[in-house]
Amino acid sequence: MKTLFILFFIFLSFYCFSQTTGFNPENKVVVFKDYRLNILQRKEAELNNAILKTKPHTADGYRLMILNTSDKAYAFKVRAQLLKKFPEQKPYMWYANPYIRIKFGDFKTKEEADVYKKQISEMLGGANIYYIAETIEVAPDKDFTPENIQ
**Mean pLDDT of the residues in the chain:** 84
Distance CA 46, CA 128 (A): 47
pLDDT of residue 43: 94
Q: How many domains does the chain have?
A: 1
CATH code for the domain of 127: 3.30.70.1070
- Non-local CB neighbours of 4 within 8 Å, separated by 6+ positions: none
Determine, yes or no, domain membership for 49: no
Note whether residue 66 is domain-resident. Answer: yes
134 — pLDDT class (breaks 50, 70, 90): very high
pTM score above 0.75: no
Rounded to the nearest 5 percent, the helix, strand and coil shares of the chain are 40, 25, 35
108 in a structural domain: yes
Residue 85 scores a pLDDT above 80: yes
Please give the Cα distance from 21 to 75 (Å, whole number).
78
Domain membership flag for residue 120:
yes
- pLDDT of 28 reads 75
Within a domain: 80: yes
Residue with more model confidence, 96 or 143: 96
Q: Is residue 36 in a domain?
A: no
Residue 40 — very low, low, confident or very high, per pLDDT cuts 50/70/90? very high
| Domain assignment present for 101 | yes
The reply to whether 28 falls in a domain is no
* Segments forming the whole domain that contains residue 109: 56-138
Confidence band (pLDDT; 50, 70, 90) for 139?
A: confident
